Amino acid sequence: MSSIYPTLLLTGAAGVLGRQLRPSLAQACQTLRLSDRGSCGPTAAHEQDRPCQLADRAAMEALLQGVDAVVHLGGVSVESPFEQIAPANIEGVFHLYEAARLAGTRRIVFASSNHVTGCYPQGEAIGPDSAPRPDGYYGVAKLFGENLARLYWDRHGIETVCLRIGTATAEPPDRRALSTWLGFEDLRRLVLAALAAPGVGFLSVYGVSANPQRWWSDAGWERIGYAPQQSAEAWRKQIQDLAPPADSPEARLQGGSFLGLGPWTRQP
């Protein structure tokens, strides 16, 4: 892929997925701007390190200046109390989109989550057009981000591909991942495809590898040119018996372990 954006911003660049994507994103830009709560470490000649808090609106507006496209991974990445989720995953996403509008940013690849539909039963086939059924505050916040992305496309012409990411790990960790796993190689394919595809407008797609048991449809993949090459089947024997008790919400519903987190007692 030749560089298609002069300046590309990667938020959450110091996280697990950010570190996986950082080398590949150089293919899509001339300058890669890296941002997290703290420093992302030493930079290459084509990189810029710009620490920033998503909850700081003024700082986000400064961060987006001169940015042509964004891969947004930043924020709280697991189910947590609402008070921890809201500043980065709700207010922070608003700050991102408003800063993008002011800066004239053309496209955002938004790391949404399968947890926007995590209360569907395991085994039920669903797609991006299925009704939302979030499994917690994290899923609700990601659904807010998707709806905000649609608003900013309809009102302001900022294109977004929302990636409902599955179990993005080096190897599938348990039986649920036979359906939900997204290998790191496929993650890179997915994000680069979402950046390069022309005329996406607003689009939500599931981020998952070519697992024969996957619950989520491939709707939208052809539109962005995503063709997964990895599969969890290679690990079936090692993981097929790694599952929570059969009568638990974690075993019955698609959100898996997130269904076992919370509710939390409010702290004084």
- For residue 205, give every residue at least 6 positions away whose Cβ sits within 8 Å of its Cβ, in sequence order, or none: 128, 161, 162, 163, 164, 194, 219, 220, 221, 223, 224, 226
Residue 3: pLDDT band by 50, 70, 90 thresholds? Answer: confident
Q: What is the mean pLDDT of residues 100-109?
A: 98
Backbone angles phi, psi at 154, to 5 degrees: -65, -40
User: Mapping DSSP to helix (H, G, I), strand (E, B) and coil, where does residue 4 land?
Assistant: coil
Of residues 138, 152, 206, 226, which has the active-site annotation? Answer: 138
Residue 265, pLDDT score: 76
DSSP state of 249: H
**The model's pTM:** 0.97
Q: Tell me the domain boundaries of the chain.
A: 5-260
What are residue 69's phi and psi, to 5 degrees? -155, 160
Q: In which element (H, E) is residue 129 found? A: none
Structure confidence at residue 267 (pLDDT) = 59
Give domain 5-260's CATH number out of 3.40.50.720, 3.40.50.10140, 3.40.50.360, 3.10.20.30: 3.40.50.720
Q: What is the pLDDT of residues 161-204, one digit of tens each?
A: 999 999 999 999 999 999 999 999 999 999 999 999 999 999 99
Predicted pLDDT of residue 63: 98
* Host H or E run for residue 144: helix 137-156
For 45-107, the DSSP string reads TTEEE----TT-HHHHHHHHTT-SEEEE--S--S---HHHHHIIIIIHHHHHHHHHHHHT--E
Active-site residue flag, 138: yes
Least confident of 25-29, 60-64, 171-175, 227-231: 25-29
Q: What is the pLDDT of residue 268?
A: 52
Pairing of strands 107-113, 5-11: unpaired
- Mean pLDDT for the stretch of residues 53-67: 98
155 CB-near residues (< 8 Å, 6+ apart): none
The pLDDT value given to residue 1:
59
What SS3 class is residue 191? helix
